[in-house]
Amino acid sequence: MINGHGDDLHNFKGEIRYNFSSNVYYKGCNPRLLQHLEKNVHQIQNYPSPVAAELNVLAGQYLGLDPNQFLFGNGATELFYLIAQCFRGQKAIIVGPTFAEYEDACKMHQVDITFITREAVLEQSFRTDAALLFICNPNNPDGKVVSTNSIVSILENNPNTRIVVDEAYNEFTNAVKSVMPLVSKYKNLTIIRSLTKTFAIPGLRLGYLVSNTVFVKDLLAYKLPWTVNSLAIASGRYIFENYQELCFDLEELLEETAVFKSQLNALKGFSVEKGDTTYFLLSVAKGTATALKKHLANTHGILVRDATNFTGLTGEYIRVSIQYPKANTALINALQLWN
């Protein structure tokens, strides 16, 4: 799904004033990180290290884990494709509706896919003979979460299944904590994290995987060299050395989101779906989500995510993410005119 994701701003050639289609932190990259990148731009004249191993050390220090438990990639997406490649020809379960790249990665590597609902995987009796299971927590596109206790049950009930927990948006919710403390206890657990959303660097592409050292070594056999560029490595170093100082204020962001959701819920013909993050689904009663997206872009210069291509999501939905108050007001006014 190379052209099927939400932030397709590149298709609109300067027509968009307000972009709600991306879940990246809306205030953008921290000025301190930008200044650091400016000082290190000369590094593009040299090859980066083959697998960005220097970031393993810093991430290990920050999270209290063995550096050999980490693998950094060109965004989280590269890591999903590496995992699928490692399980080529086997069976996978995807808990949906969810992020499309799990499905695309599996299809590319002839992994047999079965979709199940969140409710089904949370059953105490859930067992599978699949080699691989993907679960996004908090989930994209709806922002719903799965409790740590439920993740533990899935891990313990399916010891022969590689459980991949995508925590790309973990820092955008207070409804669930990371399962990172479990990664050394459960050998079948793999966690994917993204630095691009929290620190607003999607153009640099930087994500990482945490698992047991044996599985990381297996993945390294498939990894291409130099996929993490020099500036991405420079940003990663600075982030892990200054992590908390660079993070946004989550409580403030969630308060803003609650106000925005309330305003949208007050509109006739629209309803906010329950979720626990700063992005969420908005049901559309009139017309189609595809038509609404086109209208908002062409008439109002507002870009939203048409959610109709999420496998297993039935109904008409757009996905939006909290933005600046001026942008939020512009979207509300435009949606009022739709009705």
- pLDDT digit string (tens) for the chain, length 339 residues: 554 455 677 777 668 999 999 999 999 999 999 999 999 999 999 999 999 999 999 999 999 999 999 999 999 999 999 999 999 999 999 999 999 999 999 999 999 999 999 999 999 899 999 999 999 999 999 999 999 999 999 999 999 999 999 999 999 999 999 999 999 999 999 999 999 999 999 999 999 999 999 999 999 999 999 999 999 999 999 999 999 999 999 999 999 999 999 999 999 999 999 999 999 999 999 999 999 999 999 999 999 999 998 999 999 999 999 999 999 999 999 999 997
**Overall number of domains in the chain:** 2
pTM value is 0.95
Cβ neighbours around 1 below 10 Å, total: 11
Q: Is residue 140 within 8 Å of residue 168, measured between CB atoms?
A: yes
State whether residue 96 is helix, strand or coil.
Answer: strand
**Would you state the pLDDT for residue 245?**
97
Claim to verify: residue 56 and residue 129 sit in the same structural domain:
yes
Claim to verify: residue 233 and residue 257 sit in the same structural domain:
no
Domain that holds residue 226: 31-245
Amino acid in position 3: N
Q: What is the DSSP string of 42-76?
A: GGGGSPPPTT-HHHHHHHHHHHTS-GGGEEEESHH
How far apart, in whole angstroms, are the C-alpha atoms of residue 189 and residue 204?
Answer: 27
How far apart, in whole angstroms, are the C-alpha atoms of residue 198 and residue 40?
Answer: 21
How far apart, in whole angstroms, are the C-alpha atoms of residue 259 and residue 266?
Answer: 11
**Would you state the pLDDT for residue 7?**
65
Claim to verify: residue 20 and residue 54 sit in the same structural domain:
no
Claim to verify: residue 88 and residue 216 sit in the same structural domain:
yes
Claim to verify: residue 252 and residue 236 sit in the same structural domain:
no
Q: Which of 215, 245, 275 is the last residue of a domain?
A: 245
